[in-house]
A = this chain, B = another copy of it.
Amino acid sequence: MSRQTRDAGTIRSNLGRSTPTTVHVRGLDLIEMIGTVSLGDFAYLELRGRLPDARESLMFNAIVVALVEHGLTPSALVSRLTALGAPESLQGAVAAGLLGLGNTFVGTIEGAASICQASLPPHVGRRTDQEIAELATQVLTDYAARRAPVPGIGHPVHTPVDPRAQKLFALAREQDFDDEPIRLMEEISRQASAARGRILPVNATGAIGAIAMVLGIPANIARGLGVMARAIGLVAHLLEEQQSPLAATVWSRAERESTTDS
């Protein structure tokens, strides 16, 4: 990018504004929202520019709640191991844990959302099952050509069904949201399972990617849903680590084994 291009810009942000007596977020009065708007609804406001209605609130809170806590993941181990060396910096331990939310794990939300967004441009009328099946075939063909795993399907533990995905899709249908992204992910799961000869269910991140599209959250920010949710979970792991530590044991065992001559 040339220097001229860069210099031409202005510096404007419309997220937060303060005067000595007021604070506004996305144009709404923060002081009024404190005590009346929940954290999940406020996150929706930040991402979508307006507060959610009741069904948007239910659905958005549902997907982020599903992302907060996944047990002793690599991210949780990373936050705990980091706190061992730098107890003075809780923010550093959380940040370290978030850095693992990339293409392999939580980043698959973005992958699934991108598939939905690219395959399902705005369209008049409901797509038929046949149309959805063709779109799914196209996605699988593309990923096979690149020898890349299809994001959002398959799970090492939750098989043949990921109960979180199942619940999220059921909620979206109960709430009567557009279900084309859901049908697409389900069809991808079906075709991929048939081709591989083993069940590859839509997993939680696949379901959330589809629902992100339903809620109007752009694919290229969708992994942010996982990042914001998991930040909460990592703080909880750091609290548990203070009360009931395990990181030093993980380290000690790994170090000992790694340096023992066999």
Contact = CB atoms under 8 A, between A and B. Distances in A.
B258 A13 contact: yes
B13 A237 contact: yes
Nearest to A68: B42
A194 interface: no
A113 interface: no
Interface stretch (A95-103, A116-124, A137-145, A177-185): A95-103
B246 A17 contact: no
Interface in A44-101: 46-47, 57-58, 61-62, 64-66, 68-78, 81-82, 84-101
Q: How many copies does the complex hold?
A: 4
A223 B151 CA distance: 26
Interface in A198-228: 218, 220-221, 223-225, 227-228
A242 B221 contact: yes
A157 B139 CA distance: 42
